[in-house]
Chains A and B, each alone.
Chain A
Amino acid sequence: AQKVTQAQTEISVVEKEDVTLDCVYETRDTTYYLFWYKQPPSGELVFLIRRNSFDEQNEISGRYSWNFQKSTSSFNFTITASQVVDSAVYFCALSVTGRRALTFGSGTRLQVQP
């Protein structure tokens, strides 16, 4: 079985602060995919990144960066210089080859105060 843990239920920061959202996953599969999604108050899921288990390179996209470490089964997400528009719930998710549905973490609610 797969499991995704997002230990941070809610984080509140002031605009321009950096913030890191933690994600720890569990799976016995050697081939898997990790995802991050943003869910604003409107409810739709906004895709942020997908990373496969064979690619441990960290990735940066604008103010967003991701740190994938297989040794600790973590896939953390950092927002640099946070903005009010970053306020949302962020979900980390996992899928494996034999089960393409995503297993979601419980989500982290990020509030960025002006």
Chain B
Amino acid sequence: GAVVSQHPSRVICKSGTSVKIECRSLDFQATTMFWYRQFPKQSLMLMATSNEGSKATYEQGVEKDKFLINHASLTLSTLTVTSAHPEDSSFYICSARGWGGGEKLFFGSGTQLSVL
């Protein structure tokens, strides 16, 4: 079964609203979470890296005030897209890294965000 749970899998929202995406590691402690964005027919681009209990590190060009990342516990990270606009429509996918019988790196199943 999935070791990283990501919800929701799909969300449609109106322009200007905020959307929260959750990423949970189910059977290991995720010391680091990564958030990626994938536009249609393109590759996955890293948005930010978050370590539990500290502020996220954002990649160049990613607005930290728009994409709020919280990693308050070893099993949960959230990405909030604030005041979403149509250009934020994309596939967002998280990845969790942790330890337990060796290094673990797993991806969530992704969230398709459509902003109308």
* A residues at B contact (CB < 8 Å): 37, 42-45, 47, 50, 91, 100-107, 109
Contacts and interface: CB of A to CB of B under 8 A. Distances in A.
A111 to B, nearest CB: 13
- Report, as a range, how many residues of chain B touch the other chain: 20 to 34
B107 A45 contact: yes
Nearest to A4: B43
Contacts of B45: 104
A100 B93 CA distance: 16
Contacts of B110: 43-45
Interface of B, secondary structure class, is: strand
Nearest to B106: A47
Interface string B33-49: 01000000111111001
Given A43-B91, A44-B110, A45-B93, A104 B44 contact: yes
Contact of A101 (B34, B43, B108): B34
Nearest to B107: A45
A106 B38 CA distance: 11
Nearest to B109: A44
B109 A91 contact: no
B112 interface: yes
Given A43-B109, A44-B109, A102 B95 contact: yes
B7 interface: no
16 contacts: A37-B107, A42-B109, A43-B109, A44-B107, A44-B108, A45-B93, A45-B110, A47-B106, A47-B107, A91-B44, A100-B32, A100-B34, A102-B95, A104-B45, A106-B42, A109-B41
